[in-house]
Amino acid sequence: MISEAMEDADRVLVDLGNRSYDILIGDRLVDRAGKEIAERFPGARAAIVSDETVASLYLEQLRNSLASAGVDSAAIIMPPGEKTKSFEHLMTVVDEILAARLERRDIVIALGGGVIGDLTGFAAGVVRRGMHFVQIPTTLLAQVDSSVGGKTGINSARGKNLIGVFHQPALVLADTSVLDTLSAREFRAGYAETAKYGLIDQPEFFAWLEGNWKDVFAGGEARRRAIATSCRAKAAVVAADERESGARALLNLGHTFGHALEAAVGYDSSRLVHGEGVAIGMVLAHQFSVRLNLASVDDARRVEAHLADVGLPTRLSDIPGDLPPPDRLLEHIAQDKKVERGRLTFILTKGVGQSFVAKDVPASEVELFLKEKYGQ
Amino acid sequence: MISEAMEDADRVLVDLGNRSYDILIGDRLVDRAGKEIAERFPGARAAIVSDETVASLYLEQLRNSLASAGVDSAAIIMPPGEKTKSFEHLMTVVDEILAARLERRDIVIALGGGVIGDLTGFAAGVVRRGMHFVQIPTTLLAQVDSSVGGKTGINSARGKNLIGVFHQPALVLADTSVLDTLSAREFRAGYAETAKYGLIDQPEFFAWLEGNWKDVFAGGEARRRAIATSCRAKAAVVAADERESGARALLNLGHTFGHALEAAVGYDSSRLVHGEGVAIGMVLAHQFSVRLNLASVDDARRVEAHLADVGLPTRLSDIPGDLPPPDRLLEHIAQDKKVERGRLTFILTKGVGQSFVAKDVPASEVELFLKEKYGQ
């Protein structure tokens, strides 16, 4: 991947041959969206998919930007929240894209967080067997993670993201100024994914975050740097392993536990949002690695301390309400898609920035570990 | 593509790099399915998707074949008919695949005609963002056309096949003996697609069919030759243009009119099945080409005569019941996905075996032509 400074945006190229695309990271990119899109898709029309919350803040701004660049647009507005990642809402979005009479060379734009991006990308991937897709992620989590890499999908009663397609965007516009309207809780949730890149294989980035996280939260240059670093890391992994057959699995650090916890609370975002599940999951992955004699207690404590510092939950007991028993949690883990022929696959670690894929983790070890954690 | 004789099956390779796959064509391949699958996917489990009609004939035979090769299988049975290509049935199939706890390396098998193949391929393409997929087509139409090439999908109220993905099978088993249980009407419908390959660019194959079609209908060597020739033709086009950006569009000869007619009768298969729509559509495409001074009247008459000989419908008036007015039919054509920026794309022809893609056909010409046809 390549990264270079533009007038007022960083540019990261996701290198996928003839399906390569740009991620632009900078202030006020929503206002520049029309220009960037019209340059890349001359003559195209657009359908914008957003949710009620984001639409009330940025839809008019985006449509004005598109209109002034000559791009005609239709808007499709969904309810906010994880429950929108359902078959029912997929049907609605697909039907409204068809109702807008978009043709194969027109574009579908996701304006929103991870839920809108995942749902919209899936819809764009299946209408006419694949339409051009532009991501305008409006949460930190979507900017540093879900908007890049082409994973799209919806949830099933049997698990999160079990249904979807790989459908790469043709452009990602990460407008760092829209993050000013995020709640502190949502910003922190996205920060968990940012910290993840440090924990996977960039110890120096994790150390930088430990020293500068308050500036990242405050906005400006440190925020842009954290987002661009995250996007570069993700772009490199995606370019190396688009379909998650190998190295891309590292991006799931904290996610096996995290997804199971999200399922365990019934995807109730008042109790746990995705990034919070990942934060607890990353701490658990480090503690589990300690238990398996892979990592040091000090490293696990350091990870927990930093995530707790920024205000993220780090323990099972930080989740409000009762959790189902450990064996039920293990069932959620077993149904998670990162299972191959009954063996449990986990991302484990030898310490900060030294994560690796472990394919033969015995379920019994996981269960013992979880029972221990429930006791604390 | 490569074609070679096996002990008792032809083999056609669809050359798509590391996603290449075999089409085997021969008698009693359902009985050999277990062996062929176990060799290619050691240790995998399977979900078989079929419809009530086909399942009553071949499901037990297939499951026995799988079981004797050590492949554990679950069965998912859909109602027969085009209406099964719906979001509702997609949801059911996806959910039952997940309920069977298949993992990413397991396989989903379509046992049935085009409807089951299209629906199952779509489901296999979206469960866990893509599972292995095996086609066991049980109609002539599916064997010579829909089972090869990776196009999957469902219908929308706004048009046929508007929702789907490209998801290549990993193996296609075309058992020529199962065609003995097809109704004459269904066999004829599939024959329309067989004749299409001659009309696209193989005039000698069309001439062979004119002389040998009764043997093709009777079974045995002529049938196998017709199917293998069709599969080779389709495999070559798919290998050259997997995503239908160019040459693959030729496979739509007769389909733009045909799809519009299917939509016009509300996908009522008692009035018109897909292959019948294609037969009428191919005749119309030749007649329209005559009107545009591209092809000779003799060629158009020759095509109509052969398709009428085998018992296929060739005129609008062959469709039982009333059709909507020509402008409504034109609307169906405009909503068809082979429209680019408002221009109508048609497959036209200079004569038998000389088809080509025309991208700028004026809608007004099509409407005049249709009005003329309605008058006949």
CATH of the domain at B299: 1.20.1090.10
Instruction: Classify residue A166 by its DSSP letter.
Output: B
Q: For residue B146, give the H/E element and its range.
A: none
Establish if B188 belongs to a structural domain: no
Q: Determine the Cα angle at B151 with ends A72 and B222, to 5°.
A: 145
CB-nearest to B104 from A99, A157, A337 is: A337
The answer to whether the Cβ–Cβ distance between B162 and A125 falls below 8 Å is no
> Is residue B25 marked as binding?
no
* Structural domain boundaries, residue B368: 195-375
Burial of A46 (0-12, 13-18, 19+ CB in 10 A): buried
Establish if B300 belongs to a structural domain: yes
Task: Answer whether B230's CB lies under 8 Å from B197's CB.
Answer: yes
Establish if B186 belongs to a structural domain: no
Query: What is the per-residue pLDDT for B2?
Result: 45
Mean pLDDT per 10-residue interval, chain B, length 376 residues: 59 94 96 97 97 98 98 97 94 97 93 97 97 97 95 90 96 96 95 98 98 95 96 94 82 93 89 95 97 97 98 96 90 68 83 94 89 83
Residue A54 C-alpha, separation from nearest chain B C-alpha, in angstroms: 27
User: Is residue A276 domain-shared with residue A366, that is, in the same domain?
Assistant: yes
Establish if A154 belongs to a structural domain: yes
Instruction: Classify residue B158 by its DSSP letter.
Output: T
- Burial readout B118-154 (b: 16 or more C-beta within 10 A, e: otherwise): bbbbbbbbbbbbbbbbbbbbbbbbbbbbbbbbbbbbb
User: For strand B343-349 and strand B339-340, is the pairing parallel, antiparallel, or unpaired?
Assistant: antiparallel
DSSP helix/strand/coil, B346: strand
* Region A277-295 average pLDDT: 97
The answer to whether the Cβ–Cβ distance between B153 and A95 falls below 8 Å is no
The answer to whether the Cβ–Cβ distance between B341 and A153 falls below 8 Å is no
Domain boundary among A153, A181, A209: A181
DSSP helix/strand/coil, A72: coil
Q: What percentage of chain A has pLDDT greater than the value 90?
A: 80
Going by C-beta distance under 8 Å and a sequence separation of 6 or more, which residues neighbour residue B158?
Answer: A95, A98, A99, B335
Task: Answer whether A51's CB lies under 8 Å from A112's CB.
Answer: yes
Q: Is A271 an annotated catalytic residue? A: no
User: Is residue B38 domain-shared with residue B144, that is, in the same domain?
Assistant: yes
Going by C-beta distance under 8 Å and a sequence separation of 6 or more, which residues neighbour residue A210?
Answer: A306
The answer to whether the Cβ–Cβ distance between B341 and A103 falls below 8 Å is yes
Going by C-beta distance under 8 Å and a sequence separation of 6 or more, which residues neighbour residue A6?
Answer: A24, A26
Cα gap B347→B285, rounded to integer Å = 7
Contacts of B154 in chain A (CB under 8 A): none
- Terminal Cα distance for chain A, rounded: 43
Establish if A101 belongs to a structural domain: yes
What is the domain-level CATH number for residue B21?
3.40.50.1970
> Is residue A132 marked as binding?
no
Tokens of A368: 């013992």
Cα gap A148→A235, rounded to integer Å = 7
Q: Is A248 an annotated catalytic residue? A: yes
Tokens of B364: 């007004």
- Terminal Cα distance for chain B, rounded: 43
Tokens of B301: 């008459």
* Region A188-206 average pLDDT: 97
User: For strand A9-14 and strand B159-163, is the pairing parallel, antiparallel, or unpaired?
Assistant: unpaired
DSSP helix/strand/coil, B244: coil
Lowest mean pLDDT among A40-49, A320-329, B64-73, B285-294: A320-329
Q: Is A306 an annotated catalytic residue? A: no
Between A198 and B269, the more confident residue is A198
Distances (CA, A) of B176 to A362, B81, B117, B216, B233: 46, 21, 17, 11, 18
Establish if A187 belongs to a structural domain: no
Query: What is the per-residue pLDDT for B340?
Result: 59
pLDDT band at A7 (very low <50, low <70, confident <90, very high): low
* Region A88-92 average pLDDT: 98
> Is residue A145 marked as binding?
no
User: Is residue B7 domain-shared with residue B147, that is, in the same domain?
Assistant: yes
Cα gap A347→A368, rounded to integer Å = 18
Cβ of B79: how many Cβ atoms within 10 Å? 11
Establish if A56 belongs to a structural domain: yes
Between A197 and A330, the more confident residue is A197
The answer to whether the Cβ–Cβ distance between A339 and B103 falls below 8 Å is yes
Contacts of A165 in chain B (CB under 8 A): 125-126, 129-130, 165
User: Is residue B306 domain-shared with residue B365, that is, in the same domain?
Assistant: yes
Residue B342 C-alpha, separation from nearest chain A C-alpha, in angstroms: 8
- Return the number of CB contacts < 8 Å for A and B: 83
Query: What is the per-residue pLDDT for A243?
Result: 81
Query: What is the per-residue pLDDT for B7?
Result: 55
Choosing among A92, A126, A359, which should be mutated to test the B contact, i.e. which has the most B CBs within 10 A? A126
Q: Determine the Cα angle at A130 with ends B130 and A149, to 5°.
A: 60
Q: Is A132 an annotated catalytic residue? A: no
Whole-number average pLDDT of chain A: 93
Tokens of B233: 């033709």
Handedness of CA A88, A89, A90, A94 (dihedral sign): positive
User: Is residue B23 domain-shared with residue B163, that is, in the same domain?
Assistant: yes
Query: Given a cut of 60, is residue A4 above it in pLDDT?
Result: no
Cα gap B54→B110, rounded to integer Å = 11
Domain boundary among A117, A151, A181: A181
User: Is residue A224 domain-shared with residue A345, that is, in the same domain?
Assistant: yes
Query: What is the per-residue pLDDT for A1?
Result: 42
User: Is residue A158 domain-shared with residue A120, that is, in the same domain?
Assistant: yes
How many domains does chain B contain in total? Answer: 2
Query: What is the per-residue pLDDT for A190?
Result: 97
User: Is residue B8 domain-shared with residue B78, that is, in the same domain?
Assistant: yes
Establish if B187 belongs to a structural domain: no
Tokens of B20: 């290449």
Q: Which chain B residue's Cα is nearest to A153? A: B129
Burial of A210 (0-12, 13-18, 19+ CB in 10 A): middle
Task: Answer whether A9's CB lies under 8 Å from A25's CB.
Answer: yes
Domain boundary among A126, A158, A181: A181
Query: pLDDT digits over A55-87, tens only?
Result: 999 999 999 999 999 999 999 999 998 899 999
Query: What is the per-residue pLDDT for A3?
Result: 46
Angle between helices A221-240 and A184-201 (to 10 degrees): 50
The answer to whether the Cβ–Cβ distance between B164 and A104 falls below 8 Å is no
Q: Determine the Cα angle at A150 with ends A147 and A155, to 5°.
A: 80
User: Is residue A162 domain-shared with residue A230, that is, in the same domain?
Assistant: no
Query: What is the per-residue pLDDT for A169?
Result: 98
CB-nearest to B339 from A91, A103, A129 is: A103
Q: Taking Cα atoms as reference points, which of B140, B194, B136 lies closest to residue B169?
A: B136
User: Is residue A172 domain-shared with residue A219, that is, in the same domain?
Assistant: no
Query: What is the per-residue pLDDT for B159?
Result: 80
Interface residues of A toward B, Cβ cutoff 8 Å, are 43, 87, 91, 94-95, 98-99, 101, 103-105, 122, 125-130, 151, 153, 156-159, 162-166, 243, 335, 337, 339-342
Q: Is A255 an annotated catalytic residue? A: yes
Q: Within B175-220, where are the H helices?
A: 184-201, 203-218
Helices (H) and strands (E) in chain B, counts: 14, 13
Query: What is the per-residue pLDDT for A98?
Result: 96
User: For strand A132-137 and strand A107-112, is the pairing parallel, antiparallel, or unpaired?
Assistant: parallel
> Is residue A148 marked as binding?
no
User: Is residue B317 domain-shared with residue B205, that is, in the same domain?
Assistant: yes
Query: What is the per-residue pLDDT for A158?
Result: 84
| SS3 of chain B: helix, strand, coil, percent, to 5 | 55, 20, 30
Lowest mean pLDDT among A135-144, A245-254, B349-358: A245-254
The answer to whether the Cβ–Cβ distance between A151 and B129 falls below 8 Å is yes
Instruction: Classify residue A55 by its DSSP letter.
Output: I
User: Is residue B99 domain-shared with residue B241, that is, in the same domain?
Assistant: no
